[in-house]
Amino acid sequence: MTTIVVLFNLKKDVNVSEYEQWAKETDLPTASGLPSVDQFEVLRAEGLLMSEDNAPYQYIEILKINSMEQFGTDVSSEVMQKVAQKFQSFADNPLFISTSNL
């Protein structure tokens, strides 16, 4: 199983409430419904543990992928292309990290 971790901040002009509403109403249900996705979470960073400092990223997405081949097919669909385009309008230079279990 592959886990994709996405780290990102919102662009300066993005309204946090607008992004979070879109994430709850569109991104989460759409991506969670893909055949290749076993689990999808969007997390809001609250800070660094045992520190007064802010986290370097505002949001973290975690996607548990059961088939990268199927995922490639899923994300190339018209619906997911629209979701990805909207995500890019919110996110400032997101980092997509592909991981695997030890």
The average pLDDT across 57-72 equals: 98
The two tokens of residue 56 are: 């370097």
Confidence at residue 91, expressed as pLDDT on a 0 to 100 scale: 98
- Using the 8-state DSSP alphabet, how is residue 3 labeled? E
Query: Across the chain, what does the average pLDDT equal?
Result: 97
The average pLDDT across 41-48 equals: 96
Share above pLDDT 70 across residues of the chain, in percent, rounded to a whole number: 100
Confidence at residue 102, expressed as pLDDT on a 0 to 100 scale: 94
| Angstrom distance (rounded) from CA 42 to CA 63 | 9
Helix (H, G, I), strand (E, B) or coil at 92: strand
| Angstrom distance (rounded) from CA 7 to CA 75 | 18
| Angstrom distance (rounded) from CA 69 to CA 2 | 11
Confidence at residue 77, expressed as pLDDT on a 0 to 100 scale: 96
Residue in the block written with tokens 């996110």:
91
Cα–Cα nearest to 4, from 84, 89, 90, 85: 84
The two tokens of residue 21 are: 């509403």
pTM of the model: 0.93
Confidence at residue 33, expressed as pLDDT on a 0 to 100 scale: 97
